[in-house]
């Protein structure tokens, strides 16, 4: 009997299989940096001021041209170089500059053109809009070549990539900002400000999502270059694109700045749509034969994260179901609740939603200074209703004035880590997995995000149609 007890005890400690033990946590070996105190904290870091932010943009397919257009409106930003694997895309992007009478950018193309761009000595910021698997390599190379990096979402696909971003940013003292535009949408900014003021009480739970029917686009020959996004949907089975829903609610909960992610679980449905679509297309077009036998990720993924202080976040991903667009954006606290989708936007401090005029009063009173300063112009210039331009303007204004960024490398790493960890949890029958603390304890002292101008706000905006004065006054 005693030998049996010893056997069971040994099994329980080696597998975590018995009740009462922290069962089924992450089986990965911790990264060497995980147990080391950082030599430098990038949260709150104020880089030296740049009178003019000289920008190089890589990736001019889906997102890149919009970035060229938006940044071309910002005084104090100069687009020095444009790069895409396909030379015709770099050439086409020049029109945004020449239409405003701006200097032509140097064009790069080919497989390694991006490296030559990063190596230039007249660039301060590399803005990366390429396929997901290139985000970390390009951001790391940019920082190692002395440039700040702004990288599209997700910033990384593996935990090793997350740590590489963190380590490189800390060593080089160069910013690595993930371009999470949804943090700058108008309702998200309002609810963030209200949460910071305690108007919802203690936040207990939050929800975010990326629910967007992209079946036609993912299967379009004229969509993503070499069908790269469709291929990504066959590589892993979790949440491959978590940050649009996660970023805004993580900021509201002060993740990395007063609290941090502790562990998470993730569950996916089967795929009921993508392989069927591939087979349907393959029967009509030989081109799709390559894709008909792929195993695709589940159509709906639901991930739950728990924080150090016992808050919970739910994040969903579904880009195949025929549903209206939604990022959910729900905050639930001890005194109130906010919900963006389904429309209309709603806030309540009891059993009934506020009336429309009451909601508008909240906008007038609690909209952050940043949004009040540039929001109207952002709506004119555009980019998902203006939030893209607010993000770009804010980035340039912070770099010009030597201000800390709203999103740092720890946010890029912790929000992007859900890509890898959700896949890991799903593959283990939704077992809990630990979320690394990329701040290595500094979340306890890091200050919350501040959407005020903080001594900036002096970055002007060029007119949509060139005028003699050349600016829209802010």
pLDDT tens-place string over residues 158-217: 999 999 999 999 999 999 999 999 999 999 999 999 999 999 999 999 999 999 999 999
pLDDT given for residue 110 in this prediction: 97
Give tens-digit pLDDT for 54-106. 999 999 999 999 999 999 999 999 999 999 999 999 999 999 999 999 999 99
pLDDT at 35: 83
pLDDT in tens, 133-173: 999 999 999 999 999 999 999 999 999 999 999 999 999 99
* pLDDT beyond 70 at 16: no
How many angstroms separate the CA atoms of 373 and 229, rounded? 36
Mean pLDDT of the chain: 93
Which tens digits make up the pLDDT trace of 270-288?
A: 999 999 999 999 999 999 9
Distance, in Å, from the CA atom of 388 to the CA atom of 178, rounded to the nearest integer, reads: 12
Is a pLDDT exceeding 70 seen at residue 7?
A: no
**Which token pair is 374?**
């540039």
The mean per-residue pLDDT over the stretch 21-28 comes to 44
pLDDT tens digit sequence for 356-367:
999 999 999 999
Residue 50: per-residue pLDDT: 98
Each domain of the chain, given as residue ranges in start order, spans 182-372+405-444
Share of the chain above pLDDT 90, in %: 90
Q: Give the DSSP letter string of 226-269.
A: GGHHHHHTTT-SS-S--HHHHHHHHHHTTBTTTB-EEEEEEEE-
Determine what percent of the chain falls in helix, strand and coil, rounding each to the nearest 5.
40, 15, 45
pLDDT 10s digits, 114-131: 999 999 999 999 999 999
What confidence tier does 464 reach under pLDDT thresholds 50, 70, 90? low
Residue with tokens 């829209």: 472
Q: Could you report the per-residue pLDDT of 228-256, keeping only the tens digit for each?
A: 999 999 999 999 999 999 999 999 999 99
pLDDT in tens, 397-433: 999 999 999 999 999 999 999 999 999 999 999 999 9
* Residue from 97, 114, 113 nearest 105 by CA: 97
Q: In what order do the strands lie in the sheet with 176-178?
A: 106-108, 77-83, 53-58, 125-128, 148-151, 176-178
182-372+405-444 CATH fold: Dihydrodipicolinate Reductase; domain 2 (3.30.360)
pLDDT, mean of residues 292-314:
97
pLDDT at position 472 over 70 = no
Question: Would you state the pLDDT for residue 474?
Answer: 62
At residue 240, the pLDDT reads 98
Categorize the per-residue pLDDT at 24 as very low, low, confident or very high, splitting at 50, 70 and 90.
Answer: very low
Cα atoms in the Cβ-side hemisphere of radius 13 Å centred on 410: 31
């Amino acid at each position: 009997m005693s030998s049996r007890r010893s056997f069971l005890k040994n099994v329980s400690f080696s597998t975590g299989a018995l009740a009462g033990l922290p069962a089924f946590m992450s089986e990965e070996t911790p990264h060497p940096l995980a147990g080391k105190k950082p030599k430098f904290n990038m949260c709150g870091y104020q880089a030296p001021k740049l009178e003019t932010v000289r920008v190089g943009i890589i990736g001019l397919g889906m997102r890149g041209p919009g970035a060229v257009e938006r940044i071309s409106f910002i005084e104090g930003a100069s687009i020095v170089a444009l790069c895409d694997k396909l030379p015709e895309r770099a050439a086409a992007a020049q029109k945004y500059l020449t239409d405003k009478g701006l200097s032509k950018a140097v064009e790069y193309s080919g497989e390694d053109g991006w490296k030559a761009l990063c190596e230039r000595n007249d660039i301060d910021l590399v803005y990366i809009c390429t396929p997901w698997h290139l985000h970390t390599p390009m951001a790391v190379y940019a920082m190692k070549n002395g440039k700040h990096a702004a990288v599209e979402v997700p910033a990384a696909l593996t935990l090793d990539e997350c740590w590489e971003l963190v380590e490189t940013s800390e060593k080089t003292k160069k910013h690595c900002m993930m371009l999470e535009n949804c943090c700058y949408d108008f309702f998200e900014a309002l609810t963030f400000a209200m949460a910071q003021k305690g108007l919802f009480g203690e936040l207990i739970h939050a929800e975010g999502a990326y629910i967007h029917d992209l079946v036609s686009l993912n299967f379009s020959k004229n969509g993503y270059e070499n069908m790269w996004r469709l291929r990504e949907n066959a590589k892993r089975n979790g949440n491959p694109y978590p940050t649009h829903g996660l970023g805004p609610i993580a900021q509201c909960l002060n993740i990395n700045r007063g609290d941090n992610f502790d562990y998470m679980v993730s569950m996916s449905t089967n795929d009921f749509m993508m392989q069927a679509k591939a087979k349907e297309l393959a029967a009509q077009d030989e081109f799709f034969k390559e894709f008909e036998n792929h195993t695709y990720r589940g159509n709906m993924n639901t991930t739950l994260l728990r924080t150090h202080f016992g808050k919970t976040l739910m994040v969903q991903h579904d880009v195949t179901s025929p549903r209206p667009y939604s990022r959910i954006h729900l905050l639930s606290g001890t005194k109130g609740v906010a919900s963006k989708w389904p429309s209309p936007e709603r806030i309540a401090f009891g059993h009934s939603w506020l009336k429309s005029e009451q909601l508008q009063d909240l906008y007038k009173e609690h909209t952050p200074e940043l949004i009040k300063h540039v929001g109207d112009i952002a709506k004119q210039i555009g980019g998902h209703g203006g939030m893209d331009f607010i993000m770009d303007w804010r980035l340039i204004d912070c770099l010009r004035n030597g201000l800390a960024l709203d999103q740092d490398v720890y946010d890029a790493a912790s929000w992007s880590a859900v890509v890898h960890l959700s896949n890991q949890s799903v593959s283990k029958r939704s077992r809990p997995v630990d979320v690394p603390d990329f701040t290595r304890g500094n979340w306890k002292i890091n200050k919350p995000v501040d959407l005020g101008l903080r001594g900036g706000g002096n970055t002007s905006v060029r007119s949509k149609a060139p005028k003699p004065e050349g600016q829209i006054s802010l």
